[in-house]
Amino acid sequence: MAANSLMDVIGGTPSVWLDRLVQARGLEGRMLAKLDYLNPGFSKKDRAAKGIIEMAEASGALRPGQTVVELTSGNMGTGLAIVCGLKGYPFVAVMSRGNSVERARMMAALGAEVVLVDQLPGSVPGQVSGGDLAEVDRVTREIVEKRQAFRADQFHHAGNARAHFETTGPEMWADSDGSLTAFVDFAGSGGTFAGTIRALKDCNPGLRGYVVEPEGAEALAGGVVTRPDHPIQGGGYAMADLEFLQGCQVDGYLSVTGEAARETARALAREEGIFGGFSAGANAAAALDLLAGPERGGVVGIVICDSGLKYLSTDLWA
C-alpha cells in the first residue's frame, strides 16, 4: 500500500546480520546492522527531525509558517529540509565548511537555505572540531534571534532521543528476535544512543550499551583530548557534557581511529554491500572490537547512520 506522504516512510528501516564481516575475522558472535541510510534523507537523522518538529508542533513551540533553524553536519539538516518542506516551514541549515560539499548541495536541493560557516584558523578541511562546531552554534543563535525563528536544537530537544526510544530501539529488538546483548553507537548529539539504549534496556535490563568516540577525543569517557580534529564527520566533537547522556546508563566507552573507521566502512561496502559513511565504519569497527573482547559470543547491534554517497568528495572512497 502506498504511503500518503514521505513522512510516513521515515523509520521502519530493515536490519541485516553482518555474518560475513564477523566470520571473516574469526570472531564469535553476531552483529546486527540497522540500515538507517535507507531513510528518505539517507540517514538516521530523519527520525530525529520528524520527532523534534512533531513534538514542537504539539507543544505550540513551533508556530504555523515559522522559520526553523538548526546547526548540522548535514544529516539533521537534510532530515529537517524534508520534514519542514512537507509541512510548510522555511528552513535554514547552518553548517561548517569542514563538512562534505555533498551535504550542502543536497539540503539546498531539498529547499533549505544553507549558511556555510568558515572553520577556525588552523582547522583541517574535512575534520570539524568542537571549536568549529562552537562557531557554527554562534552563527545559528544569531540567525534564530534575527529571524525570530524556532531552533530545532538537536543537542537538547527531547524529540531527538524520544524518536529513537519510540522507533529505533523497539525495531532493533524485534529485528533481532530479542537476541541482542549489546548496542554500540558513535556519539554525535547522543540522542540515538540515549533513546535506543533506554528502549533496549526496557526489553532486557542486562543488555549493555557502549558509546564510541574518536581516538584522541575521548571527552565523554573522561579522557584528555589530544586530537580534537578527526575525519569521522557528524560526531566526536570532544564535548564532555552531552545532555542526552546525563542520567543515561553507559556500560562502557570505546575509541576508534579515523583510519579504523575508514577501513571498516570500506569493508562494509566490499564484504556486505553496505555503502555507509564514516560513522557507520566507526560503529562496525567498535562492534568488532567488542566481539573480540568483552562481548565475545554475544549479539551486538549497530546503526548504519548515513550513506556513503555523502562522502564522495572526501578521502573515504579515494
Does residue 279 carry a catalytic annotation? yes
71, 92 in Cβ contact below 8 A? no
195 & 306 share domain: yes
In angstroms, rounded to a whole number, what is the distance separating the alpha carbons of residues 275 and 263? 12
Active site includes 45? yes
Are 195 and 287 in the same domain? Answer: yes
Are 204 and 226 within one domain?
yes
In a domain, 211, yes or no: yes
Q: Which domain holds residue 79?
A: 45-151
- DSSP lists the bridge partners of residue 52 as none
Closest C-alpha among 305, 195, 286 to residue 249: 195
Residues 26 and 171 in one domain: yes
The upper half-sphere exposure of residue 268, i.e. CA atoms within 13 Å in the direction of its Cβ, equals 35
- How many structural domains are present in the chain? 2
Whether residue 304 lies inside any domain: the answer is yes
> Quick one: 229 and 92 in the same domain?
no
Tens-digit pLDDT profile for the chain (318 aa)? 899 999 999 999 999 999 999 999 999 999 999 999 999 999 999 999 999 999 999 999 999 999 999 999 889 999 999 999 999 999 999 999 988 888 899 999 999 999 999 999 988 877 787 888 899 999 999 999 999 999 999 999 999 999 999 999 999 999 999 999 999 999 999 999 999 999 999 999 999 999 999 999 999 999 998 888 788 888 888 787 899 999 899 999 999 999 999 999 999 999 999 999 999 999 999 999 999 999 999 999 999 999 999 999 888 998
- pTM, entire model: 0.94
Report which DSSP code applies to 212: E
Residues 285 and 174 in one domain: yes
Domain assignment present for residue 283? The answer is yes
For every residue of 207-224, DSSP letters joined together read -EEEEEEETT--TTTT--
Catalytic residue among 34, 43, 44, 45: 45
266 and 292 both lie in a single domain? yes
Same domain membership, residue 122 and residue 56 = yes
Which of 132, 151, 170 is where one domain is finished? 151
What CATH number does residue 240 fall under?
A: 3.40.50.1100
Whether residue 316 is contained in a domain is answered as: no
Task: Report the 10 Å Cβ neighbour count for 208.
Answer: 22
**Residue 286 belongs to some domain of the structure:** yes
* Boundary (domain end) residue, out of 108, 125, 151: 151
Q: Is 173 exposed, middle or buried (0-12, 13-18, 19+ CB in 10 A)?
A: buried
How many whole angstroms separate alpha carbon 269 and alpha carbon 273? 5
- Exposure b/e, 136-168, CB count within 10 A at least 16 = b: beebbeebbeeeebbbbbbbebbbbbbbbbebb
Q: Would you call 4 exposed, middle or buried from its count of C-beta atoms within 10 A (0-12, 13-18, 19+)?
A: exposed
Amino acid at 231: P
**111 and 231 assigned to the same domain:** no
Considering the domain boundaries, does residue 30 fall inside one? Answer: yes
Angle at 317 between CA 311 and CA 318, to 5 degrees: 120
| Residues 137 and 51 occupy one common structural domain | yes
- Looking at the fold, whether 74 and 99 belong to one and the same domain comes out as yes
Domain assignment present for residue 1? The answer is no
Lookup result for grid cell 540522542? 191
Last residue of a domain, one of 151, 173, 195: 151
Q: Are residues 170 and 28 in the same domain?
A: yes
Residue 281 lies inside a defined structural domain of this protein: yes
